[in-house]
Structure 1
Amino acid sequence: VTSSETRGNVVTSYLGGALAVMVGVYTAGGVSGAHMNPAFSFAMCLMEQFPWWKFPIFVVVQMLGSFISAAAVYILYYDAIWYYGNGTLTVSGPRETASIFATYPADYVSIANGFLDQVIGTGVLMVGVMGILDTRNKAVPKGLEPVVVALLVLSIETSMGANCGCPLNPARDLGPRLFTYVAGWGPEVFRWVQRRG
């Protein structure tokens, strides 16, 4: 955003996000099962592969992690954000910077279609991850599961990201949205607004 797509674009953003998922799975897979997504934790609870009593704890930690990650991005790109925004923090318009942190729908997307977009995208993610983890399926070579999950995320983002930017993860969207709210973008971060003016 701040480079006006001269140093990256939506595809490089998706690639970076997918690779971040891969690193997250390699980092936390052995510790927590790499539960980085409340939808994944919920699905695991429904399938009785994760205890319900841990679910609220994991959701809070997932939200907190994404909030802290957004704060780190803000600190890292502080100068660029303020320079690009001409000293203002906005959610919409030609100099908006909120989409650096959270995803916003295209201006043609209705609330109902945006909701359906996320249900389908997250559903595809869940089915794909469950398929990758299911030992009855064709096995992914041991140790490459995070790479395959990253490729799954990348394929969903590039094929289904046009409507809403493909958050696929309530924590990945809400945590940064909460950060932008407290950091100065204000309550507009919670409104159904277009990504660009």
Structure 2
Amino acid sequence: MRNSYLGELCSEFAGTMILILFGCGVVAQVVTAPDGSLGDHDSIAWAWGIGVMMGVYVAARLSGGHINPAVTIAFAVFKGFPWRKVMPYIAAQFLGAFVAALIVRVGYADLLRKVDPEHTIATQLVFSTLPGNGVDGVGIPTAFLDQVIGTAILVFVVFAITTAANNPPLSNLGPVVVGLIVVGIGMAWGANAGYAINPARDLGPRLASLITGYETALYDQNGQLYFWLPIVAPIIGGLVGGGLFILLIERFLPKEEELPAPAVSEPRPNV
């Protein structure tokens, strides 16, 4: 018999890996290309959204396609996801992000060395986020609030499109909508802290870069310890977004058992 639990963990690993291969890959392409000749902010936002969409498609059938610890924790708190699975899911997500970042690091090693021989903050953005995207002017409190807001938006809308009583998109279109959510967040909430909105997406690549030459990977451009912020703030944001959805929408929806049964088409005779 198939080990369905192992399959869930493998799918979370693979889905998060696909997400990071697209996401960190596009940032590497943009950062290492001369004069923005191979992309810009919009291409980054779209590729991250595509990465999320493809990652969810990879994982959704077996695990639900969380590919984000903030989503997993929010589902455990508000949607009955088993707590015994939370830490294994998060571990699988982190490992998927870590392995994918190592692949990007090796694949772009020559170009990264060419544009940033010392492996500094200038190209650290390929792997992890920074306040103000590495530009001074955004403080830690603002970056923290930004991550709470961005992840709250993400989880609020994810709950909206996965709640049966809320007339969600058909299941095969769900990943597309989730990907578009991330594109929108990147275009609207990308300035203050790089819209990590996913602890695994940030910590896995951050550690991969740390062990491959980026000595300041745990810090921001001002030398402040920063790695904790894209972990803690998204988890809080996910709980805020999930709680607001329950408060503002779900408690007013009909119970799933009260929903009309889906129409069943009559079998057509063979002619």
TM over 0.5: yes
Query: What residue in structure 1 maps to residue 219 of structure 2?
Result: 191
**Which has the larger helix fraction?**
2
Per mean C-alpha deviation after superposition, the further-off stretch among 132-141 and 16-25 is 132-141
Q: Where do residues 68-79 of structure 1 align in structure 2 (5 Å cutoff)?
A: 68-79=99-110
1:128 pairs, out of 157, 167, 180, with 157
- State the TM-score, normalized to the length of structure 1: 0.92
Q: Aligned pair count?
A: 188
The root-mean-square deviation of aligned C-alpha atoms, in Å, is 1.2
Residue in 2 that maps onto 1:39: 70
**% identical equivalent positions:** 38
- Higher relative contact order, chain-length normalized (CA < 8 Å, sep 6+): 1
Paired amino acid for 2:127: F
Over 3 Å counting, the alpha-carbon distance change for 1:48 and 1:152 in structure 2 is: closer
- Distance apart, 1:180 and its partner CA: 0.9
For residue 46 of structure 2, what is the aligned residue in structure 1?
Answer: 15
CA deviation map 1:35-88 (0-9, x unaligned): 210000000110142111111111111111111111111111111111111x22
Instruction: Write the distance in 1 (CA, Å) between the matches of 2:50 and 2:66.
Output: 16
What amino acid maps onto 2:177 in structure 1? Answer: V
Structure-to-structure mapping, 1:1-197, within 5 angstroms: 1-4=31-34, 5-85=36-116, 87-91=117-121, 96-106=122-132, 107-186=136-215, 188-193=216-221
Distance in 1 separating the partners of 2:80 and 2:172: 21
Contact 1:111–1:192 (8 Å) recurs in 2: no
Deviations 1:131-179 (A, max 9, x none): 0101111321331111011111111110010111111101101111111
1:156 partner letter:
I
* Partner in structure 1 of residue 6 of structure 2: none
Asked if the contact 2:160/2:168 (under 8 Å) is kept, the reply is no
| Residue matched to 2:242 | none
Instruction: Return structure 1 stretches of 4+ with deviation > 2 angstroms.
Output: none
**TM superposition score normalised by structure 2:** 0.67
Contact 1:121–1:168 under 8 Å retained in 2: yes
Q: Residue type matched to 1:189 in 2? A: A
Is residue 18–residue 153 contact of structure 1 (8 Å, CA) maintained in 2?
yes
Structure ID, larger Rg:
2
